[in-house]
Structure 1
Amino acid sequence: MFVADRRLALGYRALAAVVIGWGVGRVTGLFDGRFAGAELLYFTVLSNILCLAWFALLAVVTGRELRVRGGRGPSAPWPRVSGAVMMAITVTMLIYLVVLVPETFVQNSSYTPFTLTDDLIHIVTPVLTILDWVLFVPKGSFRWFDPLLWALIPYAYLVFAFAYGALGGRFGAGTSYPYPFMDVQALGVGGVALWIVVLTVALEVVAYLYVVVDRALGALARRRSGRARVS
């Protein structure tokens, strides 16, 4: 249940790295000489950098396997790590689409969503990452406890962001919090905690959906392989 062609995988991964790097360069101002280091304090940008590093690594490994083993066959090192990266960027996409964008319309914010840069880092990067798993990663490696491990990435960011703000750090807009649902002054500790619990539950549901799909496709592939050997 995957494309067993290292040439296609290499081309896809190299192109994905270029596109993701373009988005990261745009949001941080690298391409117009106004580097905005404060953008690196946001989970959105950090998760995109994680994907950029992951695709660069995948491209290197795939290229090496192509030289050594030839064009036919899988190139999917550390499939469970691919799940963690995929879930981290899924968090970015879903919070943007379900929480941040609707809030801008409700509050009549001056912020304009769905610009090219926003689309690249919030939508294109997640789609590229999910498609890489769909197309090139053999299925059946995910474990039922993996979503709990994957949650450590966004939770590590929460710890960093709250600690940074509490110590006097300021994010890009001059606030002590990176995202509105983390605004303790406006929502109170209970309100922020409720937001985090609700988002955690919702995102874990999505994570377990990935696991269910992975295991179902893996089981289907094993049955087909078994029937092929018998025949």
Structure 2
Amino acid sequence: MKKNIALIFALIGWFALIAQYYLHIENRISSLLETNFRFFTYFTILVNLIVTIYFTSTAFRKHGIEGKNSGYLTAITVYITIVGATYQIILRGTWQPTGLQRIVDELLHSVMPVLTIIFWYLFENKARVKYSQISKWAIFPIVYFIVILIRGSFSGFYPYPFVDVTALGLTKVLINSLFIAIFFFIICFLYIRVGKALEK
């Protein structure tokens, strides 16, 4: 059952990512090379890609991408929970997509987070996930943040308004990022705590 569910979730993920890439290229306002760079600077895209690869691996490999270790699923569930929550709380009101873009938008920001949480609830070995793993989970978002700031300083493009140094200034961006970091650690602790409670 686990592999079948993972395959269905993977197919949904790949459809959303491929459709979003098509729309991104179709509506580009910069060169093809720059458009491709920008596509992969969105945290939403990177996290959905990681999640979809995880589901694909789980569907086709004996032990999936994490083998016999625990924690990977919780980590990506934290990431995509942040993607969904940030969109619903901060970004949803900033634009009104229509047609295929609206479908893709909901898949990436609403459907995939919910599906990942369901998969985590059903299949994560929650008792073996440790609080000490949080520091490792934080590496990806920290590196991502540093990269988009460095690239933005050269290109002038920032993927999200709350990290736009040009519009807000570096101090405000750092404050915004601090709040997101606090939210990240809260979500991590909640997943581990809830997971351990569920396993009792």
Common fold: TM-score over 0.5: yes
Aligned to 2:7: 14
Write the mapping of 1:100-115 to structure 2, written as runs, cut at 5 A.
100-102=91-93, 104=94, 111-113=95-97, 115=102
Q: Could you tell me whether the CA contact under 8 Å between 1:13 and 1:55 is conserved in 2?
A: yes
CA 1:113 to 1:149, structure 2 compared with 1: closer, same or farther past 3 Å? Answer: farther
- For residue 99 of structure 1, what is the amino acid of its counterpart? I
Offset, 1:76: 7.5
Normalising by structure 1, what TM-score?
Answer: 0.74
Q: Which runs of 5+ in 1 are unaligned?
A: 1-7, 66-74, 105-110, 170-174, 221-231
In our comparison, the structure showing a higher alpha carbon Rg is 1
Offset, 1:163: 1.3
Aligned to 1:196: 177
State how many pairs are aligned: 188
Q: Which runs of 5+ in 2 are unaligned?
A: none
Q: Could you tell me whether the CA contact under 8 Å between 2:48 and 2:108 is conserved in 1?
A: yes
Q: Answer yes or no: is 1:138 the counterpart of 2:125.
A: yes
1:159 to 143, 146, 157: 146
Write the mapping of 1:1-231 to structure 2, written as runs, cut at 5 A.
8-29=1-22, 37=36, 38-61=38-61, 64=62, 77-102=68-93, 104=94, 111-113=95-97, 115-166=102-153, 168-169=154-155, 175-218=156-199, 220=200
Tell me, in whole angstroms, the C-alpha distance in 1 between the residues paired with 2:16 and 2:192. 28
Q: Could you tell me whether the CA contact under 8 Å between 2:148 and 2:158 is conserved in 1?
A: yes
CA 1:131 to 1:41, structure 2 compared with 1: closer, same or farther past 3 Å? Answer: same
The structure that is helix-richer by fraction is 2
Q: Could you tell me whether the CA contact under 8 Å between 1:88 and 1:153 is conserved in 2?
A: no
Q: Could you tell me whether the CA contact under 8 Å between 2:74 and 2:124 is conserved in 1?
A: no
> SS state of the match for residue 128, structure 2?
coil
Q: Could you tell me whether the CA contact under 8 Å between 1:101 and 1:113 is conserved in 2?
A: no
- For residue 96 of structure 2, what is the amino acid of its counterpart? T
Normalising by structure 2, what TM-score?
Answer: 0.84
Aligned-residue CA RMSD in angstroms? 2.4
